[in-house]
Each structure stands twice: as C-alpha cells, then as structure tokens.
Structure 1
Amino acid sequence: MIWRPTLGFAFSHPAHFIALGFGTGLAPAAPGTVGTLLAFPLFVLLDAWLPPLALFGLVVVFFGVGIWACERTGRDLGIADHGAMNWDEVVAMLLVLLLSPADWAWWGFAFVAFRFFDVVKPPPIRHIDRSVKGGLGVMFDDIVAAFYTLLLVALVKQILG
C-alpha cells in the first residue's frame, strides 16, 4: 500500500501513468488543479488534428480507459479515490473545452467553474462521489461537475448575449 505515489509508481504500470495524469498527479500541491490544466494543451493539440465528433469519441474512450486506470491504481494505492489520481479531471475538462465557446476567456471562466464544482461537490455530485464505487465513481462525479460547468457557461453566455 502506497500513500504518496512516486515517479517510480507512476511508471510501474500503464494504468498508474494514466490515472496520475501522465505524472501531473505527483504535483506536491493541488494535483487536481494541475490535471485540469493539463487538459488545455492536450485539447489544443487534439483539436488541431481531429474534427469535433472524433474528439468527442476520443473523450468517451478516455473516460472508459479512466475507469480501468483509476480502478487499478486506486486498488494498488490502497485508496479508491487517491488525490494524486487526476485523470478524471483531465477527461472532464476536455469535455468542457470541447463543448464550451472556443475562446480563452470562456475557457478561463469554465476552468474556474469546473474547479469550484469539483471541489465543492454540490448535489448530486457529492452523493455520486460517496456512493458510486471504484473507477466508475472516480470518473463519473467529475463528468457531472463538467455538466454543471457547461450549464453555467451556457447560462452566463445567454445572459451576456
């Protein structure tokens, strides 16, 4: 049982490397925020190469891979939803970036909103976080936070015209 994963742990199995956000989960502070930030360059790179529908499909694949990776990594760490596992934030923020207005101001707003919903966990996010177990639980509560973020972005965009 490992309480604080190391670089060696991250590279010891592909699931660990993925669940730890390609190593960003090893950040000494705020690994969830660091993982969320990783989504930005990843999105810009993928968006330049893939049409939106293919990118959406890739996000769905990343979600499925995340269930497996987080399940395995949580088991190996002995903590089902270890704070260093931030692939859930990466995938959720990719979804937010894909479905938000393609503008850095909106993306900045969406980043702050997503971090708020992910940390505060308003209903039903907290319930999902506590009741859905394993890799699915790790991944799914962040997808719900992403939907809250997208709703807020749409509402603010509508208000601002």
Structure 2
Amino acid sequence: MNLPIKHPTNSPSLKWVFQTAGRTLAFGFGSGLSPIAPGTAGTLWAWGVFYIGQYIFSSQDWLGIIALSFVVGCWVCGQVSEELGKKDFGGIVWDEIVAFWLVLVIIMPTEIWLQAIAFILFRFFDAIKPGPIGMIDRYFKIQESIQPSGTYSLRANVWQGFGIMVDDLAAAFFTLLVIALGQTLLK
C-alpha cells in the first residue's frame, strides 16, 4: 500500500528527532544533529557506547546486537530518509554507529591508540568513499533515484535503508583490512 509522506518543513530539530523511536535511532540519540561532521559525532557516540557496553556484553552479545541493529537500521534509516524527503541525509548516523561497532567488536580488546587509528580509518573510508565503497554508494543512489518519491512502500523503504547501511559496512571492512595488513607488516 502506498501512503503519502509528510516531510518536515525545516531541518530536523531535537524535538522532532525524539518524537519517535525510529528517528531517535536513525539520528544516533541526537548525535546526528551535530552541525559539524554529524557522521563523526555519531561514530564518536558509537565508540563511547561500545566502551561502556563492553563491560556489560560479551563479543557474542555484541555480534547479536550489531546484526539486529543492522536489520532494524535498514527499515529505520529508509523510513526517516523518506520522512525527511532527502536520500541518505547526513544526520542519519545509525549506519556509522552499527558499522563502527562491528570494527570495535573485531579489534577488541586492544590499546586505545589502535582504536583511535580504527576511528580515523573508518571516518576516512566513510567520508571519502574510495573505490568499491563509492561504487556501492553510487549504485544505491542511482537505484533510489529510480524509485518514485512521495509515497510509502515498505519494500522500497527497506531497500533504501539497506543502501544507507551497506556502504558503511564496506567502510568497516576496509578499515579492518588496513588494520590487519598493518599488524601483519609490523610483525
């Protein structure tokens, strides 16, 4: 069923973000509202939550949390993107959060300097989108432009959300690849 979409008239506000659980997640509990580098703010938020959460959850728990967060993120990011009327709006940072959690769960336990390197690499790959990351991003942006806008379709919504989420997983993969290569070369 196709339903009309209502777009906010201005940039998202803190009040607007916290009106629904989906918006709250998509905007990283408000971190995506940062006026400067919202993706970096969301990634920092993810790092802080992971740091605290590692004392509560096991690595297996984190993998489950990440898997569930990815699936929920495909719907939530697509839905909020449609509400905003903007494809992959910069303030939607749930994709950065989930992908950086994946990086951290794989490299932990490790020293803070390696976590910082992982952070810098992840932000580089996510912002610059070199090679395959950019190809994935462009593919989904082209697919989204083919979809009719102004109406709601669950299938199109989830596909759009998947497109938002997947390029960050590719950035996480390349972050982990560079860290693994660096550790191999330094041995």
Cα distance in structure 2, aligned partners of 1:121 and 1:73: 23
Matched, 1:107 2:115: yes
Q: What amino acid is the match of 2:162?
A: L
Cα distance in structure 2, aligned partners of 1:20 and 1:120: 21
- Residue 154 of structure 1: how far off its partner (Å): 0.6
Q: Bigger CA drift: 127-136 or 107-116?
A: 127-136
What is residue 61 of structure 1 aligned with on the other side?
A: 68
Give unmatched runs, 5+ long, in structure 2. Answer: 1-6, 145-159
Question: How many positions carry a matched residue from both structures?
Answer: 161
Q: What amino acid is the match of 1:71?
A: G
What is residue 150 of structure 2 aligned with on the other side?
A: none
What is residue 83 of structure 1 aligned with on the other side?
A: 90
What is residue 20 of structure 1 aligned with on the other side?
A: 27
Matched, 1:92 2:94: no
**Which residue among 48, 51, 55 is the counterpart of 2:55?**
48
Cα distance in structure 1, aligned partners of 2:63 and 2:72: 14
What is residue 130 of structure 1 aligned with on the other side?
A: 138
Identity of aligned residues (%): 40
Runs of 4+ in 1 over 3 A off after TM superposition: none
Q: 3-state DSSP class of the match of 1:5?
A: coil
Cα distance in structure 1, aligned partners of 2:111 and 2:71: 28
Cα distance in structure 2, aligned partners of 1:57 and 1:131: 28
- Residue 80 of structure 1: how far off its partner (Å): 2.0
CA RMSD of aligned residues (A): 1.1
Cα distance in structure 2, aligned partners of 1:112 and 1:44: 17
Q: For residues 5-30 of structure 1, give each alpha carbon's deviation from its aligned partner in whole angstroms, at most 9, with x where no partner exists.
A: 11121012111110001010111110
Q: What amino acid is the match of 1:30?
A: A
Structure possessing the higher radius of gyration over alpha carbons: 2
Q: 3-state DSSP class of the match of 1:48?
A: coil
- Residue 141 of structure 1: how far off its partner (Å): 0.3
Higher RCO structure, 1 or 2 (CA under 8 Å, sep 6+): 2
**Which residue among 10, 13, 33 is the counterpart of 1:6?**
13
**Which residue among 1, 19, 32 is the counterpart of 2:39?**
32
Q: For residues 39-77 of structure 1, give each alpha carbon's deviation from its aligned partner in whole angstroms, at most 9, with x where no partner exists.
A: 111112221111111211111111111111101100000
- Residue 150 of structure 1: how far off its partner (Å): 0.2
Cα distance in structure 2, aligned partners of 1:103 and 1:59: 22
Q: What amino acid is the match of 2:186?
A: L
Cα distance in structure 2, aligned partners of 1:53 and 1:34: 26
TM-score (norm 2): 0.83
Matched, 1:121 2:129: yes
TM-score (norm 1): 0.95
